Amino acid sequence: MEIKYQNLRVLGPAILKVKIPEEIIIKLNEYVDKIAEDKSKLKKLNYGEGLVGDVTQEFLLELEFVKSSGWLNFLGNCSKIYADLNEGKKITKFNLLKTWVVRQFKNEYNPTHWHSGHISGAGFLKVPKVLGDTVQQKKSKQYRGGNLQLIHGARMFTCPSTYNIVPEVGDFYLFPNYLMHTVFPFKDTDEERRSISFNAFSVEDAGTPSCMETFTVM
């Protein structure tokens, strides 16, 4: 699988920006639409109580689908690239903890938080055509509705403490689990902002929680 990527050095830790293949985006969206209409399965997969967001739906992806859709393979290979570039490590095992989808609508948000594991990531499957606009008279002020904001350390000379990501379908970002981040609310639309995330360990560790699946990367 060929993966297009950019290794971004915009904060302290590196951030890897990749593109989710179109065929995987289609499979993910079809799966999410199906689960969203199945109340019994939605209840079984509900992950809202385990997350901090104030959003309509947050649910886990089933393991069989994660494997058959190519999503596990994609995450494992992206994590390998991230570790090779930024940790100087040749990882051979990718231990997926969880992967889940967030269905966010207007006025909903995800407060500042971090993830478990070693490597985490978040990306976009659906984005509203409009996300609103600033209420400030000063129109040059940046509007951040619907943005994903990564946060690290304190702002200093030549060293910003935040990095704002405008959501684009197919964009996916990998970062260390400890990197704080938040998602801003948006407005002026009834369309859905759909994102997908994961947590994983890049090496086998007897002291870590049981993993959803172990994937061998080449």
pLDDT digits (tens, 9 = 90+) for 156-197: 777 788 999 999 999 999 999 999 999 999 999 999 999 999
Rounded distance between C-alpha atoms, residue 63 and residue 117, angstroms: 18
Contact in structure between 74 and 169 (CB atoms under 8 Å): no
Contacts of 15 (CB under 8 A, 6+ apart): 7, 8, 150, 163, 173, 174, 175, 179
Residue of 150, 128, 65 whose CA lies nearest to 99 = 65
Rounded distance between C-alpha atoms, residue 82 and residue 168, angstroms: 21
Find where tokens 């009834």 sit.
190
* Domains of the chain, CATH where assigned: 5-216 (2.60.120.620)
pLDDT of residue 54: 81
More confident residue, 211 or 95: 95
Q: Which amino acid is at 207?
A: G
pLDDT of residue 4: 86
Q: What is the mean pLDDT of residues 122-133?
A: 93
**What proportion of the chain, given as a percentage, has pLDDT over 70?**
89
Question: What are the structure tokens assigned to 193, written together?
Answer: 């902002």
Task: Quickly state the pLDDT bin for 206 (edges 50, 70, 90).
Answer: very low
pLDDT of residue 142: 80
Residues 27-58: pLDDT tens digits?
999 999 999 999 999 899 988 776 677 888 99
What does the DSSP 8-state code read for residue 162? E
Contacts of 75 (CB under 8 A, 6+ apart): 94, 96, 99, 121, 198, 200, 215
Contact in structure between 77 and 96 (CB atoms under 8 Å): no
**The model's pTM:** 0.90
pLDDT of residue 159: 75
Residues 61-85: pLDDT tens digits?
999 999 999 999 999 999 999 998 9
Q: Phi and psi at residue 62, in whole multiples of 5°? A: -75, 145
The runs of H, that is alpha helices, within the chain are 22-36, 39-45, 63-68, 71-86
Question: What are the structure tokens assigned to 103, written together?
Answer: 């269905």
More confident residue, 58 or 140: 58
Rounded distance between C-alpha atoms, residue 82 and residue 46, angstroms: 29
Q: Among 2-6, 15-19, 183-187, 200-204, name the one with the lowest average pLDDT.
A: 200-204
